[in-house]
Amino acid sequence: MRTLRICWLVLPLALLACGGDDADEGDVAMDTTVAEMAPVPDAPVGAAADSGGLVLQLVPVAGAPSGMGGEVMVAEDPASAGGVVVAVSGAPAGATLAAHIHTGDCATGGGVAAPLEPITVGQDGSGRSSSSVGQTLPELRDGNHYVQVHEPNGSPGAPVLCVDIVPAA
C-alpha cells in the first residue's frame, strides 16, 4: 500500500520533469490556433477558384511600372458564357487601364479575342474590373488565349501585365 502511494507521488513529478517551458523546435504550444500552425498559401498559378473558375497571376512585361502586378479570375458566368475579373495593384493612381483577352500567348502576341471592361485605378494604386465574355471557360482554356493589361490612359497603349490562360488538364 505504501508503495502505491509513493508511485502516485512520483508519477506526477516524473511527468513534470519530462515537460518544461523550453519547447523544442517544431513543438506547438497548446494555445496555438490552427491558423498559426498552418498558414494557408496563396492560390498557385492555374489553381481552381472556389467558384469553379481559374485564378492566374499577372506578370509585368518589360517597361511596366515598378511594383505593378495583379491577378485574373476566369469563371463561368450564368448570365453569359464566361466571366473575367481583373485586379491590379501598384498602378499609377487615377489611371484607366485597358485590358483584353487575346488569342495566342504572352510570348508571341496575338489579336484581341474579347475586350474587357476598363480598370479604373484608385488613389491607392489598385483597381478592378468585371466583364462578361462570349467564350466559355473550356474555350478560353484551349492553350491559345491570354489576358493582357495595357499602359495607363493609352488607346490601348503598350502592354504592362500579361498572363497565359493555362490549358485544361
The reported pLDDT for the residue numbered 52 is 63
Largest Cα–Cα distance in the chain? 94
Closest CA to 128 of 159, 165, 97: 97
Domain borders along the chain are: 2-37, 47-164
Q: CA–CA separation, 128 vs 120, rounded Å?
A: 7
pTM comes to: 0.68
Closest CA to 145 of 98, 109, 99: 109
End-to-end CA distance of the chain: 71
Tell me the mean pLDDT in the region 95-121: 95
Q: What is the CATH number of domain 47-164?
A: 2.60.40.200
46 pLDDT more than 80: no
Tell me the mean pLDDT in the region 4-30: 36
65 pLDDT more than 70: yes
